[in-house]
Amino acid sequence: MSFLNPLMLWGLLGVSVPILAHLLNLYRFRQTRWAAMRFLARAAQVRSRQIRLKDILLMLLRCLAVALVVLALSRPVVRSGAAAPLGESRAGVVIALDGSYSMMHKAGVRSRFDRAVERVRQIAETIEEGDPVSLVLLGAPNRILLRNVPFRAERFSAVLDEARPLAEPAGLDAFPDAVAPLLGEMKVPEKEVYLVTDVQSRDWNALPDESRRHIQRLSDQAAVRLVPVRTDHGENVAVTDLQLASGVLRRDSMARYTAKVRNFGKQAREGLLVTCRVDGVPLDDTTIKRLEPGETATVSLLAPLTEAGRKRIRVVVTGDELALDNVRYEVAHVREQLRVLCVDGAPSAEPFKGAADFLVTALELPRNGSTSAPIECESIDWSQLLRTRLERYEVVMLADVAEIPEKLVSRLHNYVRSGGGLAIFVGPRTRPKVWNQRLGSGAADLLPAKLGAVEPQPFAGQESRPLDTALTDHPLCATLRGLTGDQLGSIRFDRYLPLAPVAEARVVLRVAPAADPLLVERRVGRGRVVLFASTANRDWHNMVINPAFPMLVHQIVAYVTRHELEIPVPVGQPIVVPLDDMDVGDDVAFIEPRGRTTGTKTLDRDGRTVGIFERTEQVGFHHVKCEVATPAFLVAVNPQTAESAVDVLEPNRRKELAGEMGMNVLTPEGSLAPTILSARLGRELWLPLVILAIAATIGESLLAGRITGRRALMAEGAT
């Protein structure tokens, strides 16, 4: 026997109350002188023993009533034994329904989720009205649809009808986290947990030991049962990645996107059509002839950008049972024009002797067969810098500029803050101290790293140093990864400035062997600053004659001009929209793809005004509406392809794993109800105890009435 409210057992001390009352009554009396003692004498002889006996009987009955009430309140539970048939069979049920998007997999008429809902309905048939029930939709995070509410069939059914699979992945580790607190809140003799899921191999095979222990711990509190959903097969292909591969987003240019398509299934797929749509119009497609199981194909798709503005890029792979991960979204902010200002710190009449000559050449290379260069490049002498209006250009590149004049510092800072891109290449003329002092600290803090002193000699007595070919995953390296190791390995540096990156900076490229930072970038306001620790010509290294250099320069331009909001958000993550032109506390509205609008206020985060949409639940394009943006911002939200591996565990393996975690697997062909009901044993005894307590109270009052009553005993006493 156990108790659901064990603390109530302290109430058994209340049994002492009738005993105390009895004792007090014995010793508290009034006194009188009395003449007619002769009539008391017989009463004393006849009744005193009887009275004492009855008094004790009454006291015992009262104690019994108190004890029974206390026991009933502490809600004892028996599993078996003589008292079991008297008890009430009550069970608290927690149903965890897998809501991850693999449940949308639909091979036939019904999806896995439809089947799971049917299983849940079968479980619900076994729940008594009024018993506590919880329904959790497992996701990231979990949605608690019903939290320990008394079961009402209609309400439960209504909630279940509303439930939809989520666009998120859900690990098995979410399961114990969701269920444990609900179990703790429940006060019933028998607790049952049902996990209704498709039992994806991905989750179950790679379950961390800690989660395993958590699940095991659940089985201490409750009967944990796994209800697998019948699945037809585990075939699925998904677009797992979509990147802007090359090209700057400018009107009348061509952007090249690369998409990765992966076959998560066990069978080879043939003739997969991958389509790229811009604002809903299919502009390019390609067919993957054959995709082996587990293989990933990378396809290039060209998107001609014929007008400026915000474009919705969508890449779709056709024909699949799981629609959600067949699409990937991207937003392109296409600019009207793209102008780069190259500032030469050491101009020279000879070709390729000036500091910026290689930059200009690299920038003016025509791309992708387009007739005109996508970038308009203008080169000026550093002395002209003060007279130039920086706002005319999207990117400013400084090559070997000795110092930034004092007057220009705040202009340059404002330029970057308001969205301009700045690329700094150092050189022999660069005066690190002045740079650090003017742009590395104070109000105009721009530099991604503190500059060290220029070494007077090329690494004295040492060989030149190669580029670290282990590239970082920074987007700036995206195109460099296409080069062979030989090509990158041939790059040699004779000199570079030692850099000490600031906290918010990211290192993009390094020099081997000491992994010294070579290329560092940081965000400043809405703009970005890229710092290259060496020259933009052949003075200190041979990189400029390597194909990597023009690719890197183009990538820098594309990167620094890239709008912050072009970077897609994985579903489940928050959307953070920088709104530098707005004040903290202004209104901002987020509109989900299916039309739901959420209004919120702008917040201050690390000194920037941002609008935050805490949790994305749908994939597709989200609109962000606020005063300063007409039309609305667009943010793409993509599925997390971790869930795309939809194959499920073999029944034997499933049983083995479930057994290890203390779960019973329920797989009857028909309804679950008979199986569940036959296993439900706990009986709650409070009701019979209350009835007994009432009986004791009635007995007590009858007995008390009989003792003090007059008429009934008159006749009997006379005999």
Partner 1 sequence: MTHQVLQPNLRYLDPETLQKIGSLELIAREVVEGLRVGAHRSPLRGFSTDFAHHRQYVPGDPLRHLDWRVYARTERYYTKLYEAETCYEAHLLLDASASMTYGSGAVSKLEYAKYLAASLAYLILKQRDSVGLGVFDSTLRSYDPPRSAMGILGLLDARLAEATGQPRTDIAAQLHELAHRVNRRGVVVLFSDLLEDEEGFLRGLDHLRFRGHNVIVFHLLDPYELTFPFSGTWRFEGLEGEDEFTTQPDRIRDIYMEDLQAFLNTVRTGCERSHVDYDLVDTSRPVDVVLSEFLARRSATSQRTG
Stretch binding partner 1 (CB under 8 A), from 68-76, 401-409, 545-553, 705-713:
705-713
Q: Is 28 in the site for partner 1 (CB under 8 A)?
A: yes
Among 2, 16, 48, 701, binds partner 1 (CB under 8 A): 48
Half-sphere exposure of 426 (CA within 13 A, CB side): 29
Q: Token pair of 255, please?
A: 């952007």
Site string for partner 1, 652-691 (x = CB under 8 A): ----------------------------------------
For 590: left if phi > 0, alpha if psi spans -120 to 50, otherwise beta; the answer is beta
Residue from the set 37, 281, 349, 514 that interacts with partner 1 by CB under 8 A? 37
Order the strands of the 608-613 sheet from edge to edge: 575-578, 608-613, 603-605
Tell me the window of 7-15, 270-278, 461-469, 702-710 that interacts with partner 1 (CB under 8 A).
702-710
Tell me: does residue 46 bind partner 1 (CB under 8 A).
yes
**Is 36 or 443 the residue whose CB approaches partner 1 more closely?**
36
Residue 44 interacts with partner 1 (CB under 8 A): yes or no: yes
Total Cβ atoms within 10 A of residue 82? 7
Cα–Cα distance, 289 to 297 (Å, whole number): 10
| Contact range with partner 1 by CB under 8 A, out of 41-49, 189-197, 258-266, 564-572 | 41-49
Instruction: Select from 1, 34, 473, 513 the one that contacts partner 1 (CB under 8 A).
Output: 34
Interface with partner 1, residue 153, by CB under 8 A: no
Which residues have CB under 8 Å from 349's CB, separation 6+? none
Report the residue count for the chain. Answer: 719
H-type alpha helices, 78-226: 112-125, 153-162, 174-185, 201-205, 209-221
- Bridge pairing between strands 309-317 and 327-334: antiparallel
Confirm or reject binding of residue 348 to partner 1 (CB under 8 A): no
- Return the number of the residue (81 or 705) whose C-beta is nearest partner 1: 705
Collapsing DSSP to helix, strand or coil, 464 comes out as coil
Q: Does 719 bind partner 1 (CB under 8 A)?
A: no
Stretch that binds partner 1, among 32-40, 249-257, 315-323, 612-620 (CB under 8 A): 32-40
706: which 2 tokens? Answer: 């009989």
Interface pick for partner 1 out of 1, 42, 82, 606 (rule CB under 8 A) = 42
> Of 1, 7, 35, 109, which one interacts with partner 1 (CB under 8 A)?
35
State how far the Cα of 616 lies from the Cα of 185, in Å rounded to an integer.
Answer: 29
User: Which pair of tokens denotes residue 296?
Assistant: 């990933």
CB 703 within 8 A of CB 57: yes
Distance of CA 264 to the CA centre of its chain: 23
User: In terms of CB distance, is 484 or 719 closer to partner 1?
Assistant: 719
Q: Residue 46 corresponds to which tokens in the numbers above? A: 């006849």
Crossing angle, helix 406-417 and helix 432-439, to 10 degrees?
60
Q: Provide the mask over 387-426, with x wherever binding to partner 1 is found by CB under 8 A and - wherever it is not.
A: ----------------------------------------
Q: By C-beta, is 153 or 713 nearer to partner 1?
A: 713
What's the closest the beta carbon of residue 92 comes to partner 1, in angstroms? 51
* 3-state DSSP assignment of residue 217: helix
**Cβ–Cβ under 8 Å, residues 510 and 517:** yes
Nearer to partner 1, 39 or 389 (CB): 39
Phi then psi dihedrals of residue 686, to 5 deg: -65, -35
**Residue span binding partner 1 (CB under 8 A) among the ranges 31-39, 99-107, 293-301, 493-501:** 31-39
- Alpha-carbon gap, residue 559 to 544, rounded angstroms: 19
606 belongs to the binding site for partner 1 (CB under 8 A): no
Binding segment for partner 1 (CB under 8 A), chosen from 311-319, 346-354, 462-470, 711-719, is 711-719
What stretch of H or E contains 608? strand 608-613
Q: Is 56 in the site for partner 1 (CB under 8 A)?
A: no
Binds partner 1 (CB under 8 A): choice among 1, 39, 470, 652: 39
Shortest Å distance, C-beta 704 to partner 1: 11
Distance between CA atoms of 578 and 569, rounded to whole angstroms?
Answer: 14
Q: Which of 17, 43, 515, 584 binds partner 1 (CB under 8 A)?
A: 43
- Which 3 state secondary structure label does DSSP give 180? helix
23 in contact with partner 1 (CB under 8 A): no
**Sites of contact with partner 1 (CB under 8 A):** 25-26, 28-44, 46-48, 51, 707-708, 710, 713-714, 717-718
